[in-house]
Amino acid sequence: MSSYTFKVSVNPKTVIDVTFQRVGQGVKIGDSFSYYGEDHAHPWGYMQHLFWPRCKVSGTLIANEHEFPATGLGMYVHAIQGMKPHHAACRWNFGNFQGPKMSAVMMEFTTPPSYGSQVVNIGAIVNEDGTLVAGTTENAAIHSTTEKDTETGWDKPTSLELSWMGVTKDDVQITAATESELKNLVERVDVLAEIPTVVKAFIAGVAGTRPYIYQVPSSSNDVKETNLLAL
């Protein structure tokens, strides 16, 4: 398998037809699983993540009867969540840098307090031909500045620092970093929007779960500093 095509037709005015064509290698860290439980051989929960860090994207998007080309570079992640989401993590950060010569992707999650609020961060850096430079686990996603979102109560990031650290197959230590302003909020996704309000309130009160996803792109004008592959 070297490509995935996503076709969604909510109605005639909203149609998505996009293909992700893998460039070079796919990446997994370890056996690609994060296990939950005291017995590694018999975990009570798990997550799995497999990455295509660099993909050629092609296709079209139709919105309000206007067609837009969907072309360029992107990443794809195959994710399986074998547990209830509020047990898996209480916070996520995703980073996706696509440049003409290199791609760097990152996924970070923080476990719930019942699992010690542990931060797990995995990532990968690949060259323009998709050749793996390094799989990385010593990474960080830092919300440099934030502001209160009055609608959700969360402190949403207004600037973001991403850093990767790893070792190549030739045992060369590498680091990569980028710093961006997050000026243009594309969408704030209420993950529990489709369930009844009373159930949503119950979940928030009992499990402390009020999940929102902030989708914010960074243009080249928003990137303060990019230092990829400082050996």
Quick one: CA torsion of 118, 193, 150, 143, rounded to 10 degrees?
30
Query: Given this model, what pLDDT does residue 201 score?
Result: 61
Task: Say if residue 36's pLDDT is above 80.
Answer: yes
The number of residues making up the chain comes to 231
When pLDDT is averaged across residues 208-218 and rounded to a whole number, the result is 73
Contact 134, 126 (CB under 8 A): no
pTM more than 0.85: no
Query: Given this model, what pLDDT does residue 214 score?
Result: 85
Q: Is 86 helix (H, G, I), strand (E, B) or coil?
A: helix
| Element (DSSP H or E) covering residue 201 | helix 197-207
Provide the sign of the torsion angle of the four alpha carbons 180, 183, 184, 185, taken in this order. positive
Query: What pLDDT digit, counting tens, does each position of 187-207 carry?
Result: 888 876 666 665 556 555 555
When pLDDT is averaged across residues 176-180 and rounded to a whole number, the result is 87
When pLDDT is averaged across residues 220-229 and rounded to a whole number, the result is 51
| Higher per-residue pLDDT: 223 or 12 | 12
Query: Given this model, what pLDDT does residue 227 score?
Result: 55
| Higher per-residue pLDDT: 212 or 135 | 135
Ranges 87-91, 124-128, 217-221, most confident: 124-128
First-to-final CA distance of the chain: 33
Query: Given this model, what pLDDT does residue 112 score?
Result: 85
When pLDDT is averaged across residues 16-41 and rounded to a whole number, the result is 92
Alpha-carbon distance of 41 to 37, in angstroms, equals: 9
Provide the sign of the torsion angle of the four alpha carbons 194, 195, 197, 202, taken in this order. negative
| Higher per-residue pLDDT: 92 or 210 | 92
When pLDDT is averaged across residues 12-30 and rounded to a whole number, the result is 92
Query: Given this model, what pLDDT does residue 10 score?
Result: 78
According to DSSP, the β-strands at 91-98 and 132-136 are unpaired
Contact 157, 145 (CB under 8 A): yes
Q: Where are the domains of the chain?
A: 3-230
Alpha-carbon distance of 167 to 134, in angstroms, equals: 6
Contact 49, 155 (CB under 8 A): no
Query: Given this model, what pLDDT does residue 203 score?
Result: 53
Other Cβ atoms closer than 10 A to 213: 11
Task: Say if residue 19's pLDDT is above 70.
Answer: yes
CA angle, 146 as apex, 142 and 150 as ends, to 5°? 140
Query: Given this model, what pLDDT does residue 163 score?
Result: 92
Contact 224, 181 (CB under 8 A): yes
| Higher per-residue pLDDT: 15 or 11 | 15
Phi, psi of 113 (to 5 degrees): -55, -30
Contact 33, 46 (CB under 8 A): yes
Tokens linked to 9: 């037709």
When pLDDT is averaged across residues 174-186 and rounded to a whole number, the result is 85
Query: Given this model, what pLDDT does residue 230 score?
Result: 40
Mean pLDDT of the chain: 84
